[in-house]
Amino acid sequence: MTGLFFLRLSLCLVIICASGAAGWILSGSIRERPRQLRSLQAALSRLETEISCSMTFLPEALKELARLTAPPVNRLFEDAAKLLLHGDLSIQEAWREAVAKSRDYLVLTWDDEQILLDLGDNLGISHREDQSRHLRLARKALGQQEAEAQKAEEQLVRLYSVLGWAAGGALVLIIA
Amino acid sequence: MREKLGFHEVLKYTASSLRDILGKVPESLKEETLEIRIRQGRPLALVTNSGVVFVSRAGKPELDPLKGYRVSGQDCRLTLQLMTRSSVYMVEDKLVQGFLTLPGGHRVGVVGSGYVEQGRLQAVRDLGQLNIRLAREVPEAAAPILPSLVDGEGRFQSTLVISPPGCGKTTLIRDIARQLSWGKPGSWPRHTVAVVDERSEIGAVWQGEPQTDCGPCTDVLDGYPKVEGIAVAIRALAPDVLVTDELGTVEDASAVVEAAAAGIAVLASIHGDSWEAVQKRPGGRLLAENRIFRRLVILSRRRGPGTVEKVQVL
């Protein structure tokens, strides 16, 4: 009898832990998004320096960003640089394609993507001051998205965790 | 064959839609082409020695402009991106001056809508008119006249090349610079040459490297305004020969006088059809009064560009 009791107790504990972990995993993208938005802002700040001060051609500037930015955000710049250097694409087409590919590895929302796409429509096609202006605007917009993402993180991560543990507890009660 | 090669060289810098059309142009026409004109909302055109030819969507030469392929805004934008490596900001100063240089030394006239501030052109927008001038290096163009431009010891004598536009001034002075820089045993020694190339026409520098053969002992001051460039050349490079194109203003002439006073032989060109006509302008008068030049070369198009009418010893 004692053995069966301990087996059931262990099973209940496993269910509750697994459920709690699932809640934590599901909240992963919510925790990751602010980090990626921060990384993007830092990269755009570097891009502004490359364009305004270092006078670097855009494909090389994107390659440099791919080198300096932390994964997975660096892939966005790596893909854009590759498409630009080896394909017969305009910067707008290359950027759009790179942003579309980033859906596989970034956790950005539709609004975040639109900011990047709007920036892409203006990258490389005007004088330095104008480029700086567009990059600053994009950074500012991403900053606002980041602030919202952080607020969402605080609320939703807790919610997902609580739901995870609660769902586990409920399942145990039903089974028991 | 240089022209034909040039035609193919520049195709990769045009939008794929234009590249497809231009690729279908008959080879004989490609060889004759001097300029490719890409203008938004207007027919795609080629300029040859015999005049302007329009190109249809099928790549067929047409005399009727209405049958030419109508260039779109997207064609122009994409072409400009390919020409600037998606980095218009890197060439904004050149765009204000109205030209770009491509690998191979091909020059692209770029114009659009000007933005003026305090009476000066600050930027150019809507760049929808591109005129690709195919580079035409003519090696040995200067060979027949160069012996008469050096003294008994082979030292180059200051020379002014005079001609109306389109007669091959730049081609000639580029080849003189090249040959002086290489030297010719028994005729003239190697000269150190400094080319002040305000409009990137002589050296056609692209990303720091001259695209034309200016010789092994030649420094190219690409994009330097003449006055500043000549001052830098005198101060920093101390060349045997200073080369510059299209003298125009009194300031240009004064800078040349300074170089000559520093003991540097000067090779320059100027618009005009005779030495007398040149001297009527203030800059020309200054050059004449200071007896800067020992040789004059007068060019015309009488037997095609580069026809040498006269080499005069002053």
pLDDT surpassing 60 at residue B146: yes
* Residue B220 domain-assigned (yes or no): yes
pLDDT surpassing 70 at residue B45: yes
Answer whether A58 sits within 8 Å of B78, measured CB to CB.
no
* Residue B139 domain-assigned (yes or no): no
Q: B302: which DSSP letter?
A: B
* B126 and B177 part of one domain: no
- In Å, how far are A76, A116, A133, B218 from B106, measured between CA atoms? 34, 35, 33, 20
Q: Which of B75, B107, B133 is the last residue of a domain?
A: B133
Residue B31 is part of which domain span? 2-133
Answer whether A55 sits within 8 Å of B123, measured CB to CB.
no
Answer whether A125 sits within 8 Å of B123, measured CB to CB.
no
The complex scores an ipTM of 0.74
Alpha-carbon distance B126 to B149, whole Å?
46
Q: How much of chain B exceeds pLDDT 70, in percent?
A: 97
Answer whether B88 sits within 8 Å of A91, measured CB to CB.
no
Residues of A in contact with B85 (CB under 8 A): 57-59
Q: How do the domains of chain A map onto residue ranges?
A: 39-155
Nearest to A58 among B78, B87, B92 (CB): B87
Looking at per-residue pLDDT, the higher value among B111 and B68 belongs to B68
Q: Which two tokens stand for residue B83?
A: 């020409």
Q: Which of B99, B133, B167 is the last residue of a domain?
A: B133
Closest alpha carbon to A51 in B82, B112, B86, B98: B86
Instruction: Please write the tens of the pLDDT for every residue from A66-76.
Output: 999 999 999 99
pLDDT at A87: 67
pLDDT surpassing 70 at residue A150: yes
* B122 and B156 part of one domain: no
* B241 and B270 part of one domain: yes
Residues found in chain B? 314
CA distance A81 to chain B (A): 11
Average pLDDT, chain B: 87
Residues found in chain A? 176
Answer whether B87 sits within 8 Å of A57, measured CB to CB.
yes
* B123 and B169 part of one domain: no
Residue of B nearest to A56 (CA): B90
* B11 and B126 part of one domain: yes
- Tokens 């300096």 correspond to A68
* Residue B141 domain-assigned (yes or no): no
Enclosing H/E stretch for A86: helix A74-86
Please report how many Cα atoms fall inside a 13 Å half-sphere around the Cα of residue B39, on the Cβ side.
14
DSSP letters for B158-199: PEEEEE-TTSSHHHHHHHHHHHHHH-BTTTB----EEEEETT
Q: Which two tokens stand for residue B237?
A: 């490079």
CA distance A126 to chain B (A): 6
* B244 and B185 part of one domain: yes
pLDDT surpassing 80 at residue B186: yes
pLDDT surpassing 80 at residue A22: no
Residue of A nearest to B83 (CA): A90
CA distance A18 to chain B (A): 51
B23 close to B16: Cβ distance less than 8 angstroms: no
Stretch B164-188: mean pLDDT: 87
pLDDT surpassing 50 at residue A168: yes
pLDDT surpassing 50 at residue A109: yes
Looking at per-residue pLDDT, the higher value among A105 and B207 belongs to A105
Binned at pLDDT 50, 70 and 90, residue B2 comes out as very low
- Tokens 């020409």 correspond to B83
A125–B contact, CB cutoff 8 A: yes
What's the distance, CA A28 to chain centroid? Answer: 11
> Residue B276 carries which side chain, given as an amino acid letter?
E
Answer whether B90 sits within 8 Å of A57, measured CB to CB.
yes
Answer whether A59 sits within 8 Å of B16, measured CB to CB.
no
Pairing label, strands B193-197, B218-222: parallel
Q: Which two tokens stand for residue B164?
A: 């109306």
* B165 and B277 part of one domain: yes
CA distance B25 to chain A (A): 21
Answer whether B85 sits within 8 Å of A59, measured CB to CB.
yes
* B85 and B213 part of one domain: no
* B233 and B288 part of one domain: yes
pLDDT at B5: 65
B312 Cβ neighbours under 8 A, 6+ residues apart? B275, B295, B296, B297, B298
Answer whether A124 sits within 8 Å of B86, measured CB to CB.
yes
Tell which of A56, A91, A127 to mutate to test the B interface (max B CBs under 10 Å): A127
Alpha-carbon distance A164 to A156, whole Å?
12
Pairing label, strands B45-48, B159-163: unpaired
Q: Which of B77, B98, B133 is the last residue of a domain?
A: B133
Q: How many domains does chain B have?
A: 2
pLDDT surpassing 50 at residue B126: yes
Nearest to A90 among B78, B92, B123 (CB): B78
CA distance B107 to chain A (A): 20
Q: Output the 3-class SS for B4-50.
A: HHHHHHHHCCCCHHHHHHHHCCCHHHHHHEEEEEEECCCECEEEECC
Enclosing H/E stretch for B116: strand B107-117
Residue of A nearest to B125 (CA): A126
pLDDT surpassing 80 at residue A16: no
* B155 and B302 part of one domain: yes
CA distance B82 to chain A (A): 7
B161 close to B275: Cβ distance less than 8 angstroms: no
CA quadruple B76, B78, B83, B89: dihedral, nearest 10: 100
Residues of B in contact with A96 (CB under 8 A): none
pLDDT at A67: 94
A59–B contact, CB cutoff 8 A: yes
pLDDT surpassing 80 at residue A24: no
Answer whether A124 sits within 8 Å of B123, measured CB to CB.
no
Q: Which two tokens stand for residue B145?
A: 């006249």
In DSSP terms, B271 is beta-bridged to B163
A16–B contact, CB cutoff 8 A: no
* Residue B29 domain-assigned (yes or no): yes
* B174 and B304 part of one domain: yes
Binned at pLDDT 50, 70 and 90, residue B4 comes out as very low
Residue of B nearest to A124 (CA): B87
Query: Nearest 5°: phi and psi at A149?
Result: -65, -35
A54–B contact, CB cutoff 8 A: no
Neighbours of B42 (CB within 10 A): 16
Q: What is the pTM of this model?
A: 0.70
Query: Nearest 5°: phi and psi at A142?
Result: -65, -35
pLDDT surpassing 90 at residue B92: no
pLDDT at B3: 40
For residue B67, give the CATH number of its domain. 3.30.450
For residue B290, give the CATH number of its domain. 3.40.50.300
A120–B contact, CB cutoff 8 A: no
B46 close to B53: Cβ distance less than 8 angstroms: yes
In chain B, the largest separation of any two C-alpha atoms, in whole Å, equals 61
Stretch B87-111: mean pLDDT: 84
Average pLDDT, chain A: 87
* B129 and B152 part of one domain: no
Stretch A28-39: mean pLDDT: 87
